[in-house]
């Protein structure tokens, strides 16, 4: 591990301080580790491809990538597009498949409405009706960006989008992915987080 930098990719609403303890712990053993705060996830930056291209500007040398949730999915896209910059990839909690049987159409409809509402109006509406989760307050770009991210998790461009990325990974690249049984646990969690 001392030969390479470890890059932590954060999930939605996470801040660099959420992984600082891990970074400090690794430094005790002489391991270089960093993280990046995502830019506003709006406009073109709402796509995994654009986020991976942005990440390419941050990662200067071959590194070990550790991504959680959104970080898992952007990391997967990054490893697929820029394999020469990655020594190994560990992803956790990144839903990678759509399941229509647990994705009620009214949830997708709700997310699409939230996505189109202005961030400030939508945030105030939720703040008045519910105890707003911290993840919402910490998501750069506000509620509209969060809805776009959830939609990208739940409705990728094609049903096999992420599976094709997995299949396209370099064969000699060490990778490990950790998520719920058949992705259902994670997908359900993402959907319920979006509702509440």
Over its length of 196 residues, how does the chain's per-residue pLDDT go in tens digits? Answer: 889 999 999 987 788 988 999 999 999 999 999 999 888 766 677 788 889 999 999 998 999 999 988 898 899 999 999 999 999 999 887 766 555 555 567 777 777 877 776 555 555 665 555 555 555 556 666 677 777 777 776 677 777 787 788 888 888 888 877 665 444 444 444 544 444 4
- 3-state DSSP of the chain: CCCCEEEEECCCCCCHHHCHHHHHHHHCCCCCEEEECCCCCCHHHHCHHHHHHHHHHHCCCCEEEEEECHHHHHHHHHHHHCHHHEEEEEEECCCCCCCHHHCCHHHHHHHHHHHHCCHHHHHHHHHHHCCCCHHHHHCCCHHHHHHHHHHHHHCCCCCCHHHHHHHCCCCCCCEEEECCHHHHHHHHHHHHHHHC
The confidence score (pLDDT) of residue 73 equals: 86
The confidence score (pLDDT) of residue 64 equals: 95
The confidence score (pLDDT) of residue 3 equals: 92
The confidence score (pLDDT) of residue 123 equals: 57
- pTM for the whole thing? 0.76
């Amino acid at each position: 591990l001392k030969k390479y930098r470890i890059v932590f990719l954060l999930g939605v609403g996470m801040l660099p301080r959420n992984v600082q303890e891990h970074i400090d712990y690794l430094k005790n053993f002489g391991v270089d580790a960093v993280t990046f705060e995502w830019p506003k996830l709006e406009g073109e930056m709402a796509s995994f491809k654009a986020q991976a291209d942005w990440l390419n500007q941050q990662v200067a040398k071959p590194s070990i990538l550790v991504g959680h949730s959104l970080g898992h999915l952007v990391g997967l896209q990054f490893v697929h597009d820029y394999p020469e910059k990655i020594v190994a990839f560990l992803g956790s909690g990144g839903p990678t498949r759509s399941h229509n049987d647990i994705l009620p159409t009214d949830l997708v409809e709700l997310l699409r409405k939230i996505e189109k509402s202005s961030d400030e109006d939508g945030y105030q509406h939720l703040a008045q009706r519910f105890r707003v989760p911290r993840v919402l307050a910490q998501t750069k770009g506000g509620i509209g960006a969060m809805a776009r991210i959830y939609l990208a998790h739940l409705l990728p461009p094609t049903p096999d989008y992420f599976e094709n990325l997995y299949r396209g990974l370099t064969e000699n690249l060490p990778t490990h992915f950790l998520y719920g049984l058949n992705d259902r646990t994670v997908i359900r969690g993402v959907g319920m987080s979006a509702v509440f």
